[in-house]
Copies of this chain bind each other. A is one copy, B any other.
């Protein structure tokens, strides 16, 4: 019986991973982090997707994160700006590491041999904790520190957004990704475009939209 824990936000990437995981594991459980994001809409989307797919979801409140880190995404600031380190203001230091650390604990608890995250270094966006070299490093540390042998799978690591849409399509879940997953930094869930809901005016929407039309062009060329 193959069991996996998926770090699941309700965004496009982790939702694609969730459908991918259904093809590769007998049982999956979702772990979702609530860290006082400006918009709770992504969290709501994640709940609906888990409910619909009958996947057990554990939501961990880590809103204390606000007290120890500074970032535009969870407090005040401009999500487009670069900070003094040359990293985007939306970068939350050690966020991915925290997610993986806790999900790895949970995987130990339920006896899962794999941990899945939608982390991707292609659309790097300047986040150093999205690279595979970081994932390799934290995988080793986590297993070393707990005498475990849990592999961290990153099915989207080398895919760009167009290829992520293509993966969803090949899994037969393109409509679900477009209609159910959330991406927009501004929490816009009113305006539905061909590529999904969003404000069409933030870096996250830009990436999603651009990726969708690249995917469409590729698809049309090949069919």
Q: What residues of chain A have their CB less than 8 Å away from a CB belonging to chain B?
A: 31, 58, 60-62, 64-65, 67-70, 85, 87, 93-94, 96-98, 101-102, 104-106, 108-109, 128-129, 131, 133-134, 137-138, 140-142, 144-148
Contact = CB atoms under 8 A, between A and B. Distances in A.
A96 B144 CA distance: 12
21 contacts: A31-B68, A58-B67, A60-B67, A65-B105, A68-B105, A69-B109, A93-B105, A93-B148, A94-B104, A94-B108, A97-B101, A97-B142, A97-B145, A98-B98, A98-B101, A98-B105, A129-B144, A137-B137, A137-B141, A138-B141, A140-B141
Nearest to A92: B105
Determine which residue in A85, A105, A128, A140 has the highest number of CB atoms from chain B within 10 A of its CB, and name it. Answer: A105
A68 to B, nearest CB: 5
A105 B146 contact: no
A144 B140 contact: no
Given A98-B102, A105-B93, A146-B94, A64 B67 contact: no
A45 B85 CA distance: 37
A68 B109 contact: yes
Contacts of A58: 67-68
Contact of A134 (B98, B101, B144): B144
Contacts of A98: 98, 101-102, 105
A142 B68 CA distance: 15
A186 to B, nearest CB: 25
Given A101-B97, A101-B101, A141-B134, A129 B109 contact: no
A68 B145 contact: no
Contacts of A141: 97, 134, 137-138, 140-141
Given A58-B68, A98-B102, A138-B141, 18 more contacts: A31-B68, A61-B64, A62-B64, A65-B105, A68-B102, A68-B109, A69-B108, A87-B147, A93-B105, A94-B142, A96-B145, A98-B101, A98-B105, A128-B146, A128-B147, A129-B146, A134-B141, A134-B145
